[in-house]
Amino acid sequence: MKAGKPSEAVLSRSVLKQLKKDPNAPVSRMKQLDYGSFTINDTQVLMSSQAVGYPAITPGRFAVYSALNNIVCGGAVPSAVSLTILFPTEAPEQELRALIKEADEACHENGIAIVGGHTEIVSGIREPMIVACAAGTVERAAMVVSSAVQPGMDLVVSKHIGLGGTAILAHLQEARLLERYSAPFLDRAKAFEQEISIRREAQIAATCHVAAMHDVSLGGIYGALWELADRNHVGLTIDLKAIPIRQETVEISEYLNVNPYKLFGAGSLLMATESAEPLMDALAAAGIEATVIGHTTDSNDRILVTGEEQRFLEMTQSDELYKFRR
């Protein structure tokens, strides 16, 4: 199999179908959503695990935010994080210390703490592997279940696509990129790492009664669109030119021969709503950029429109980050 997330088909037949349902367990697996949940009285507890197996300069930070971004898509307020770290025998101890510090700082930025986990030094791996498990709560009636998407809904994207991936590439490929671009240009791209949280826009979107929220992560905006459509059995019509993208992402992607629409998109939230206007107004009032990029349809076709041209969206096989190593 290729590096990265497995396809929806592989996930369904080889993972989800192997899980037996216990009628006595108060747990909902939320099939093919980004989190699992269970109920305590009228409170829904949401949990998500995210691993960083892609090249990242600050894997602790990215792991924590990737897990948090998943549960806030369900409307949850984060409560805690636990970490599992597998560390190479050849790596220096100060790298482990830095990784933990990054993760801890990311938690403090969200008013939560690392409450447990496991750390092990392992032979046979080249790079650290970190898994963050985030937990949060939401009132059961306020939970956003991303399986309520219907044909004719507007699709809205927050901020810009490819932020997380651009920041990582600006670090990893700095020497190569400096052959073409200035240091201030790369510094701006690296700073995108500070924008990878989608918590604020998710909180606002939940109050606007959106039908679905999905964080743009591995596989980029193309992957997020495919997953949203596939899970809800709807088609898509997307205006490719409307998809918001920073100039730094455009130029770095072009120079490194990367497709920015398939690039790790932490920092952007994909939302489906019956009417975009109230959602856009609420986000604008909070100073959060958002763009309508298309709508859902009642067919199985997922169509990308560029001017007069149309083509079909294809399932993303792997994120562009996997072309690179640390």
Domain ranges for the chain, please list them.
33-142, 154-323
Tell me what the mean pLDDT of segment 92-100 comes to.
94
Q: Give the pLDDT confidence score for residue 296 in this predicted structure.
A: 98
Residue 56's pLDDT band (boundaries 50, 70, 90)? confident
Give percent of the chain with pLDDT exceeding 70.
90
What residues form DSSP beta bridges with 84? Answer: 118, 131
Q: Give the pLDDT confidence score for residue 53 in this predicted structure.
A: 78
Q: Give the pLDDT confidence score for residue 272 in this predicted structure.
A: 98
pLDDT at 214 over 70: yes
Q: Let me know: does 40 contact 117? Beta carbons within 8 Å.
A: no
Least confident of 29-33, 140-144, 200-204: 29-33
pLDDT in tens, 264-313: 999 999 999 999 999 999 999 999 999 999 999 999 999 999 999 999 99
Between 19 and 94, name the one with better pLDDT.
Answer: 94
Phi then psi for residue 93, to 5 deg, are -60, -35
What rounded mean pLDDT belongs to the chain?
92
Listed in sequence order, the residues at least 6 apart from 289 whose beta carbon sits closer than 8 Å to its beta carbon are 158, 159, 160, 244, 283
Pick the CATH number of 33-142 from 3.40.50.10470, 3.50.50.60, 3.55.40.20, 3.30.1330.10: 3.30.1330.10
Q: Please spell the DSSP secondary structure of 79-140, one letter per residue.
A: EEEEEEEEEETTS-HHHHHHHHHHHHHHHHHTT--EEEEEEEEETT-SS-EEEEEEEEEEEG
- Chain centroid to Cα 22, Å, comes to 30
Q: Which of 292, 302, 210, 296 lies closest to 8 in space, CA to CA?
A: 302
233: number of Cβ within 10 Å: 11
Residue 54's pLDDT band (boundaries 50, 70, 90)? confident
Q: Which CATH architecture has domain 154-323?
A: Alpha-Beta Complex (3.90)
Buried b (16+ CB within 10 A) or exposed e, 2-37: eebbebbeeeeeeeeeeeeeeeeeeebebeebbbbb
Tell me what the mean pLDDT of segment 147-154 comes to.
93
Q: Give the pLDDT confidence score for residue 55 in this predicted structure.
A: 78
pLDDT at 223 over 70: yes
Q: Give the pLDDT confidence score for residue 80 in this predicted structure.
A: 98
DSSP run (H or E) holding 297? strand 290-297
SS3 26: coil
Tokens 């510090």 — which residue?
101
Between 27 and 270, name the one with better pLDDT.
Answer: 270
Tell me what the mean pLDDT of segment 208-227 comes to.
96
Q: Let me know: does 85 contact 128? Beta carbons within 8 Å.
A: yes
Tell me what the mean pLDDT of segment 118-130 comes to.
92
pLDDT at 30 over 70: no
Q: Let me know: does 198 contact 285? Beta carbons within 8 Å.
A: no
